[in-house]
Chains A and B, each alone.
Chain A
Amino acid sequence: EAEVAQSPRYKITEKSQAVAFWCDPISGHATLYWYRQILGQGPELLVQFQDESVVDDSQLPKDRFSAERLKGVDSTLKIQPAELGDSAMYLCASSFMVENTEAFFGQGTRLTVV
């Protein structure tokens, strides 16, 4: 069964360093989401792609976060520089399209900033 792949599963980085996360969505899924989930809270949408285009990044801290999906397939989320408050689970999800379809989630990358 096809799954959304994320790497790494765990990342520990020092404050002010750069960190990157990778996501490979299910083949054929045009919509890709990056969420941040702080412990005890629900997933917060950071950025949403439709193919290679960003359709929503209103909650992305653009001074330090960036995301790209160059060929409309896999995606990278980068943080530079990392801050202590960035410690969270970063989830990637994909869906065939936005409306009415199921979003499939990866296992996430747990980031700890020390």
Chain B
Amino acid sequence: AQRVTQPEKLLSVFKGAPVELKCNYSYSGSPELFWYVQYSRQRLQLLLRHISRESIKGFTADLNKGETSFHLKKPFAQEEDSAMYYCALSGTDKLIFGTGTRLQVFP
């Protein structure tokens, strides 16, 4: 069965501090992993996907198949990064989401 786990409901940091939002998954095949973000009063939107291996808004995420993880990282958090972040997994036939982590970046 497909499953996505985000262990932290809330992560609070000060501006300029490093950020790591954790995501672990369970899937028997080769998954496609994504990070989606929802800023206040905006739609849920794609932040990045593992196959593109790119940095978006300073965020990166590396798929670790051995640890079945896809943690989201940013070396220096900004106040505008405050939002809900959802890890998502696409298997062969459906797209499922984790429970989300709220990132709060204080000035």
Contact = CB atoms under 8 A, between A and B. Distances in A.
Interface of A: 33, 35, 40-45, 48, 55-56, 91, 93, 95, 98-100, 102-108
Interface of B: 4, 6, 9, 32, 34, 36, 43-46, 49, 51, 86, 90, 92-100
Contact of A98 (B4, B95, B100): B95
A102 B44 contact: no
A82 B96 CA distance: 25
A43 B94 contact: no
Contacts of B94: 45, 48, 55-56, 98
Top 7 A-B residue pairs of the complex, sorted by shortest distance between their CB atoms: A42-B99, A42-B97, A105-B44, A102-B46, A43-B97, A42-B100, A56-B94
21 contacts: A35-B97, A41-B99, A42-B4, A42-B6, A42-B86, A42-B97, A42-B99, A42-B100, A45-B94, A45-B95, A45-B97, A48-B94, A48-B95, A98-B92, A98-B94, A99-B90, A100-B32, A100-B90, A102-B49, A105-B44, A106-B43
